[in-house]
Amino acid sequence: MQPSEAPIQRYDWPGALVAVASALLALYVLRESAGFSLFGSVFPRAVAFAMLALAAALLVRTAIRKVPASAIRSLTRANWRTAGLIAVVACWMLLVRFAGFYPASVFGFLAAGALARHTPWTLRELGIHALVSVVTVSAFYAFFAYGLSVRF
């Protein structure tokens, strides 16, 4: 590339797609949480409003800012991980209805942690992650069920 040549600039369409998917998921959570108790709806609504705000910010950024074509490939790889995390949240929401809060939350915690890790798991690390998942979800379940009196 000559010094006078500028790299080709493109819009981050994969980023915009992830933003739209996140916004749709947040709207679904808001609709579903309308039937929850007052205390039971606080957490899902807070997360949904945060997702809406961040999705809107991402959409504005993708509409305003162009990125070099070479960067689109690395953005696309990062967006697949983000899309995977959105899929984990969607599966968690569906499982809550059918399997209940506790098993669905253990699955969600395990899956999100496995997806977020960039290096391969050892058997020991996987066991520790599973133990931390069960302990963390158990603590949150106890807090919601006994501390906030949320009915599941």
* Helix, strand, coil share (%) of the chain residues, nearest 5: 80, 5, 15
**Residue range 102-116, pLDDT digits in tens:** 888 999 999 988 887
Query: Residue 124 has what pLDDT?
Result: 93
Q: Which amino acid is at 109?
A: F
Residue pair 136/107 in contact (Cβ under 8 Å)? The answer is no
pLDDT at 97 over 90: no
Between residues 49 and 120, which one has the greater pLDDT? 49
Residue pair 25/86 in contact (Cβ under 8 Å)? The answer is yes
**Residue range 125-144, pLDDT digits in tens:** 989 999 999 999 999 888 88
Q: Helix 38-64 vs helix 13-32: angle between axes, to the nearest 10 degrees? A: 160
Query: Residue 140 has what pLDDT?
Result: 87
Closest CA to 149 of 47, 30, 44, 36: 36
pLDDT at 6 over 60: no
What are the structure tokens assigned to 87, written together?
Answer: 């899929």
> Rounded mean pLDDT of the chain?
81
Q: Give the least confident one: 19-28, 89-98, 130-139.
A: 89-98
For every residue of 70-87, which 3-state class applies, written as one string?
Answer: HHHHHHHHHHHHHHHHHH
